[in-house]
Chain A
């Protein structure tokens, strides 16, 4: 048993870190977040050139064919850099959904262009009731046409396709087709924009059954947790650095236990989130029976930890942490959006309860 990165995984992580440091510095993040879509074509081409847009998908669809562990390494580094734009919604979310439910023909048509960096896509899940429970979805296609509204759809403005989770299946809608209206929803995270998408008898192609998208959502949730870990790590690093240099009462504030213990807790919360994310990715890769529980465990822990690490980081920074100029709030905003996405800790605790409390054999009792 070896619960750490192997040599090629470490190499991948190192090259990811230097890629994002070079191509996506905070100055670029701030420039993009001030634009309407937080999207930059040249950054997208660089991501594509590295093979990142096809990282986990089969080579027959122009993907790179790596595993979920490699995916979360990518997302962790993207999270550390606070990568703006539609990478998550296109590659991780849409790519996994298409890969999970669509036919070979459709994958050639839709997954391959995503891998080649030629297309962007997003997935529309929530409706007015804003429930992450797929069983609560109301929208349904009638004669391959969709009507109604989806909310909180990430990066819809730059997407070529919108994958719609409907009661009777997963459908692909070309954003340019008649009857599709995209309007911005103004929300906390400035680096990942949200939209309301109105469908008025819009033409839709069925990709597969709704139930088939569950694993894709689990993969996306785990990748998002990894991205959250990257954000926590950056918040921790900035905070420790600040605690080592900022002086009050003639001493660096990091020498005070009240400050030091906040940092220690940030470290514990970050590392624990990382353990949970890595395990969930491995469990999904290996298809182990408790993979869904592992995903919920990771999202439960990281949802609270991401927010708490941010709280502590801002507190340790004092007044500086409350300024617009300091980068902490950008991570803090992303942490809140990610806490919410695919269900917060409360949602996943209930999901875990159904997998453990409500089953005949309580996990662990039979171990």
Chain B
């Protein structure tokens, strides 16, 4: 056990830190309030800058334009990004989930065709997984693809598609063998979103924004060479994408959470409560300390999981602990913010009295989604029960 950074890790950190000092844009906070299109164009340029510096996909193998970074180096990368409050990258799903899946399952032609443009943000990717009747039970999805003259004809509907409105390509899971058991009849297709018959509609969520989309496919033609992996082996391809989702996400969160709790402590020092400041109120102190402690434990759990994966070579179901931990903690942090801010907590960005431009009312609503997206807390507990503890399948 040695939690000091190794010489290589320090070198990696210092190199990226000095690169960021020169290159990170300082005006992101102004742009994030502009229209979705304008701020996205900004993020595209930022990703290109990262790509030109060789920092867009540090986890990818060197031959595909990455740096072959270890998990610890990836954690350092995201910590440094969070430390300078760097903007996110435009092609988040392409870089984080879909690119690695193409590298793992794609043909040489597919890798050559898609990988460079994922890195450069010239082609933005979205993910067509969930359907109105296939959420937690993803394998029951119904979007169908029939093979006709070397093309798949796709019909169906997807929901909760992030980046659908700006997506150039979609990693789409479809049913190619309706007669097979539900996990065995699925195939992953790489679909050009400009194909005739693809319709993208905004899906307005409870925060009022439309982060996500609904996708409709009506007789969409997809060339046979755009199958990713093997036909009817789509479940394994999709599961590998989901593992990247659970594994990589927690790494970048702890500094973001730490910044939230730091800001809450600052606010608590100014908010009056029972004749003193909220920071002096015993109950608020207890709750702030509890959140602070859990944020630190979230970091430690992540580091332990990374060490275990590095030792064993495979990402395991430990990701499920992290998913439950951060999503439920984030909800508690937001509830605490409401308790500290009192009546001001409910104010939206549009109100001139809003604290921090309304981020706390937004966060309160948005975090309800945390325990649902990327696998509900219930599904994560099923995964721990079955795959970690060896209890019988419950469904």
Contact = CB atoms under 8 A, between A and B. Distances in A.
Q: Do A and B come from one complex?
A: yes
Interface stretch (B188-196, B253-261, B341-349): B253-261
Interface string A73-92: 00000000000000000000
Contacts of B45: none
B308 A275 contact: no
Nearest to B383: A264
Contacts of B394: 255-257, 260
B2 A353 contact: no
B301 to A, nearest CB: 5
Contact of B288 (A2, A278, A294, A357): A357
B2 A349 contact: no
A357 B391 contact: no
A4 B261 contact: no
Contacts of A348: 289
Contacts of A4: 1, 304, 307-308, 311
Contact of B392 (A69, A254, A301, A349): A254
Nearest to B310: A2
Interface in B284-325: 285-286, 288-290, 292-297, 300-301, 303-304, 306-308, 310-311, 321, 324-325
B210 interface: no
Contacts of B304: 3-4, 271, 274-275, 278
B22 interface: no
Interface in A45-82: 69
Contacts of B268: 357
Contacts of B386: 260
Given A276-B300, A301-B297, A346-B286, A240 B389 contact: yes
A357 B336 CA distance: 15
Contacts of A259: 391
B38 interface: no
A274 B385 CA distance: 19
B262 interface: yes
B388 to A, nearest CB: 6
A261 B1 contact: no
B381 A265 contact: yes
B250 to A, nearest CB: 13
Nearest to B308: A4
Interface string A341-366: 00001101110110011100011110
Contacts of B388: 264, 267
A3 B307 contact: yes
A264 B303 contact: no
B293 A350 contact: no
Interface string B1-36: 111111001000000000000000000000000000
A357 B286 CA distance: 11
Contacts of B265: 356-357, 362
Contacts, number: 175
Nearest to A300: B293
A279 B3 contact: yes
A263 interface: yes
Contact of B279 (A9, A244, A300, A357): A357
Given A260-B385, A301-B294, A365-B259, A1 B6 contact: yes
Categorize the interface residue count of chain B: 35 or more
Contacts of A5: 1
Interface in B55-75: 72
Contact of B289 (A240, A255, A350): A350
B266 interface: yes
B49 interface: no
Nearest to B324: A268
A272 interface: yes
Contacts of B382: 257, 260-261, 264
Contacts of B380: 264
Given A244-B391, A268-B324, A367-B255, A297 B1 contact: no
A3 B1 contact: yes
Contacts of A221: none
A252 B72 CA distance: 41
A255 B262 contact: no
A363 B321 CA distance: 25
Contact of B285 (A272, A286, A353): A353
B83 interface: yes
A161 interface: no
Interface in A262-291: 263-265, 267-268, 271-272, 274-276, 278-279, 282, 286
A264 B279 contact: no
Nearest to B268: A357
Nearest to B257: A364
Given A301-B293, A353-B288, A282 B325 contact: no
A257 B376 CA distance: 14
Given A264-B324, A276-B293, A353-B285, 10 more contacts: A255-B391, A257-B385, A261-B385, A263-B384, A263-B389, A268-B324, A272-B300, A272-B325, A301-B297, A349-B289
25 contacts: A1-B3, A1-B303, A2-B307, A3-B306, A69-B1, A240-B390, A255-B393, A255-B394, A257-B378, A261-B381, A263-B389, A263-B391, A264-B385, A267-B321, A271-B304, A272-B297, A275-B297, A276-B293, A279-B3, A282-B2, A297-B292, A346-B286, A350-B282, A357-B285, A362-B265
